[in-house]
Structure 1
Amino acid sequence: MGLHQRPPAHAVSGPMSEIVSLHLGMPPSTFPWPLEGSNATMINEDSLRAFAAARGRDDRVHPRRTPYNFAGIPSLVGASLGLELELAPTLPEAALGPLPRRYDRVITLLVDGLGWTSFEAAGAALPFFRRFVERGVCSQLSAQFPSTTAAHVTTLHTGEPVERSGVFEWVYYEPQLERLFLPLVYASVEGSETAPLAAAPEPNPLFPARTFYTLLAEHGRSSACLQRDRYVDSPFSRSVCRGARRVGYADVPEVARRLAEATRSSKDPSPDYACLYLDDLDGAGHRHGPGSPEHTEVLGHIASALESELLPALARSKARTLVLVTADHGQLRVDPERTIYLDQLLPQCREWMRRDGRGRPLRPGGSPRDLFLYVEEHRVDEALGALQAALDGRAEVLRTSELVARGVFGPRPSPRLLERLGEIAVLPAHRGDAGEMIGWWGEGEGQQHKRGHHGGLASAEMAIPLLAMAFGRD
């Protein structure tokens, strides 16, 4: 079927040191690892130090104060395929440590919601992740801000960081439509309902004109993008995955088998680059909370399918292959019963809002962990003062221009991003791995039920892994 329809371990502090210690006490692995020089046990200490330096006393992370940022992954993929793509930002050389720098093919596995905390726990318990600790390089990255799926899948598929892509959240005001827009489901907000939009011709003006896959194709490299059947052919996927073969799948065991078969097939060889998006873990975290038994069980199922199907095929392949495992964000535990709804707390806030193209007040964009308010310019000072007083101790309320000035979106935010951000940002507080949620009730459509969430700057939301491992025979 294919895709057509050991240097010594470094001492580190914290829970990850327990993984290294556990490894050092393990019996030798019996798994076949044919690539000479790839048997390095390495936790990238430089990445840990860089992330710690980007983390403030309030446990919020400035994503661009560490060179280890998710936005550098496309550049790493291109360089690993031997291409000079001039993408920015880039990742430090230490992200691959002692592993080779050039490969015949690269596979990126994006596990939605796999924060660094989940990796720490899984690394000691699940063989799939333990392989990367034993035989690869494990780096700690910062997610982009906002720590959302929309921002990160757009970056991975287009090569554009959030500051340039402008796709930053689940929902935001789109000036071209004059209404709130949900990019991933390609729909607009119509009152308390969402309405699908007719797909635009490609390239779609609502998304970046260039994709990472068209860039690879210009350099003679083939690509495949593997996603769930239910959205592999969505307008968003068609737009941001242009240039790649789009492959749908029903579940993780199936897609792991298909990738494995492609590595063995001479008639249907695997592409030079394959990007697999896995959404199960994030859903379990939202429903049950990160670290819950249900969340842990789903991670185990994902790891088991990849361990049993994909890794053995790669280990027997002659093609030199780099496998990268990463995530778009982590999650915080949240209590939906504690949610603060702004339009109930301050009913007058509806009067502050800008209007959409039909004259209706705009509800906020973003999520309950990073809310963006579209406020009439002459009401901003009034709104800012009232919100700061009402949310004292529960959230930071500031002008979005201040967030931009801090550089959390990146050094040079594009006009496309700036016009979508709104005037006021609300960043709910957190303590440890638990966070506040602040939402918008509306007519009840905004009621919160989730037990895990993300979007803000808390370290549990922002800390993500980048795991690298090399396969193949010379």
Structure 2
Amino acid sequence: MDIPVPDESVPHLARVVPSLLRAIGTPGFTGSLGLRDGLARACVLLVDGLGWELLDQHAEDAPVLAGLARTPLRAGYPATTAAGLAALGTGAESGEHGMVGYSFEVPGTGVLNALSWCHHPGGPSLADALAPGEVQRLPTTFATAADAGVAVSVVSAAEFAGTPLTRAVLHGGRYVGVHALGDLAASVIAALGPAPAFCYAYHSELDKLGHIHGPGTPPWRMQLRQVDRLVESIVDGLPAGAVLAVVADHGMVGIDGTAVDLDAAPELAAGVRALGGEVRARHVYTMDGATEDVLTAWRETLGDRAWVVRGEEAIGAGWFGRVADHVRPRIGDLVAAARGRSGLLRRAAEPMESGLIGQHGSHSTAEQLVPLALAYG
């Protein structure tokens, strides 16, 4: 089986924040990504779910954003929010920061849902049992910049303030909780007042509507228009010597009738002790001595609907970048990445996730490529 290999000629999302911090003169950071030198203020706005191909296909709905100087980035594997936020917050790929999926096994704990910080699927909270610093052990770019004297702000939904995921990957800046597009834009502009200043801002609703209605549908396109107005408001308010970088954590595809319900396929359960990941990117944790039998069963059953590879093969192909020793056990004994528009559902165990139309996580360019769009004050 041919294994996908990351296109190293396309910069990884993890390079964005170090490059922005270098551009405003923060010591200890490297990278350029074509940014101007001599800046004093920088903001990265993460629009969850805004794939490069989706923006190209619907540029008429986002004329301001589509009109900015743009270049593609790759989200890395898996192309999912927990990994993307951590890439921005640490400047590292998933094999180093350790957020290797929507859900993944943490030895001694079980399968962690990285967004809700609970046992997955549907188990009790792990907020008191599993420290964020144990899961994501790297220093954040935000904390390093703040220690260097940069005024660092994290502008995101008020509901995410102090959550374990926020503390794991976004700590180190002043958290500004917002409630709608208006105070998000206003808070970004206010955060760029001092110099040197760095701001991270996050918008989630485009991803939400893509999941529910499907990417490119009328509700999704209407939300993209609101995102464009957000970008326009921030661009109009950028002070001199500032740069706005609009990025995304992943793109999205709409799954079709080739999707497989893992919970309804007993031949796929034999020898499997736990499953992690999500619909388009699964970690398969096997019982002792069962890995090869499980590999054979999954490949025979799924056929060309997924790449099914040993964890070591995925690591060797560079899917996760460099993998730290403590992260390796989180990666499945097998890794299954959906192909085409298929998916690996769990209708009994994950009814909410399995009912979504839009999905992401795998290797398609629709999921992997995201924009880096730049505007200067």
Check whether the contact 1:158–1:208 (CA below 8 A) recurs between aligned residues.
no
> In structure 2, which of residues 236, 252, 261 is the aligned counterpart of residue 341 of structure 1?
261
Residue 325 of structure 1: SS of its match in structure 2?
A: strand
Q: Normalising by structure 2, report the TM-score.
A: 0.92
Aligned pairs for 1:407-426 (under 5 A) are 407-410=318-321, 412-426=322-336
> In structure 2, which of residues 53, 56, 61 is the aligned counterpart of residue 120 of structure 1?
56
State the distance in 2 between where 1:131 and 1:388 align: 44
Which residue of structure 2 aligns with residue 293 of structure 1? Answer: 218
Check whether the contact 1:208–1:240 (CA below 8 A) recurs between aligned residues.
no
> In structure 1, which of residues 358, 364, 367 is the aligned counterpart of residue 278 of structure 2?
367
State the distance in 2 between where 1:384 and 1:153 align: 31
Count of residue pairs the alignment pairs up: 376
Check whether the contact 1:372–1:424 (CA below 8 A) recurs between aligned residues.
yes
Check whether the contact 1:259–1:270 (CA below 8 A) recurs between aligned residues.
no
Q: Who wins on radius of gyration, i.e. which is larger?
A: 1
Distance 1:300 1:155, change over 3 A: same
Q: What is the CA distance between 1:376 and its match in structure 2? A: 1.6
Distance 1:393 1:86, change over 3 A: same
Deviates more, 1:254-263 or 1:227-236: 254-263
Residue 425 of structure 1: SS of its match in structure 2?
A: strand
Amino acid at match of 2:255: V
Check whether the contact 2:95–2:320 (CA below 8 A) recurs between aligned residues.
yes
> In structure 2, which of residues 364, 367, 374 is the aligned counterpart of residue 458 of structure 1?
364
- CA RMSD, 1 decimal: 2.3
Amino acid at match of 2:243: L
State the distance in 2 between where 1:442 and 1:451 align: 17
- CA deviation map 1:262-316 (0-9, x unaligned): 55x6xxx487000001111111111111111111100101111331x322221xx
State the distance in 2 between where 1:176 and 1:320 align: 49
Distance 1:167 1:61, change over 3 A: same
Aligned pairs for 1:118-157 (under 5 A) are 118-132=54-68, 137-157=69-89
Residue 160 of structure 2: SS of its match in structure 1?
A: coil
> In structure 2, which of residues 269, 272, 277 is the aligned counterpart of residue 350 of structure 1?
269
Q: What is the CA distance between 1:338 and its match in structure 2? A: 4.4
Residue 204 of structure 1: SS of its match in structure 2?
A: helix
Amino acid at match of 1:374: Y
Residue 65 of structure 1: SS of its match in structure 2?
A: coil
Which residue of structure 2 aligns with residue 440 of structure 1? Answer: 346
State the distance in 2 between where 1:428 and 1:236 align: 26
Q: What is the CA distance between 1:102 and its match in structure 2? A: 2.2
Amino acid at match of 1:254: D
State the distance in 2 between where 1:426 and 1:446 align: 20
Distance 1:61 1:366, change over 3 A: same
Check whether the contact 1:61–1:458 (CA below 8 A) recurs between aligned residues.
no
- CA deviation map 1:152-191 (0-9, x unaligned): 10111122321210102111101142x11012221113xx
Check whether the contact 1:165–1:416 (CA below 8 A) recurs between aligned residues.
no
Amino acid at match of 1:339: A
Distance 1:399 1:124, change over 3 A: same
Residue ranges of structure 1 left out of the alignment (5+ in a row): 1-57, 355-361
> In structure 1, which of residues 244, 258, 280 is the aligned counterpart of residue 205 of structure 2?
280
Residue 327 of structure 2: SS of its match in structure 1?
A: helix
Which residue of structure 2 aligns with residue 379 of structure 1? Answer: 290
Which residue of structure 2 aligns with residue 106 of structure 1? Answer: 42
Check whether the contact 1:100–1:470 (CA below 8 A) recurs between aligned residues.
no
Residue 335 of structure 2: SS of its match in structure 1?
A: strand
Residue 38 of structure 2: SS of its match in structure 1?
A: coil
Q: What is the CA distance between 1:202 and its match in structure 2? A: 7.0
Q: What is the CA distance between 1:446 and its match in structure 2? A: 6.6
Q: What is the CA distance between 1:236 and its match in structure 2? A: 1.8
Residue 72 of structure 1: SS of its match in structure 2?
A: helix
Q: What is the CA distance between 1:230 and its match in structure 2? A: 1.3
Aligned pairs for 1:61-460 (under 5 A) are 62-86=5-29, 90=31, 93=32, 95-96=33-34, 100-132=36-68, 137-177=69-109, 179-189=110-120, 193-199=122-128, 204-263=133-192, 269=194, 272-307=197-232, 309-314=233-238, 317=239, 319-335=240-256, 338-345=258-265, 347-354=266-273, 362=274, 364-410=275-321, 412-430=322-340, 435-443=341-349, 445=351, 448-460=354-366
Q: What is the CA distance between 1:447 and its match in structure 2? A: 6.5
State the distance in 2 between where 1:232 and 1:170 align: 19
Check whether the contact 1:440–1:446 (CA below 8 A) recurs between aligned residues.
no
Aligned pairs for 1:17-36 (under 5 A) are none
Residue 44 of structure 2: SS of its match in structure 1?
A: strand
Q: What is the CA distance between 1:443 and its match in structure 2? A: 4.9
Q: What is the CA distance between 1:252 and its match in structure 2? A: 1.3
Residue 223 of structure 1: SS of its match in structure 2?
A: strand
State the distance in 2 between where 1:282 and 1:452 align: 9
Amino acid at match of 2:263: D
Q: What is the CA distance between 1:228 and its match in structure 2? A: 0.9
State the distance in 2 between where 1:215 and 1:232 align: 20
Residue 416 of structure 1: SS of its match in structure 2?
A: coil
State the distance in 2 between where 1:385 and 1:144 align: 27
- CA deviation map 1:384-403 (0-9, x unaligned): 11111111122222211111
State the distance in 1 between where 2:293 and 2:333 align: 12
Residue 324 of structure 1: SS of its match in structure 2?
A: strand
Residue ranges of structure 2 left out of the alignment (5+ in a row): none
State the distance in 1 between where 2:135 and 2:199 align: 25
Q: What is the CA distance between 1:218 and its match in structure 2? A: 2.3
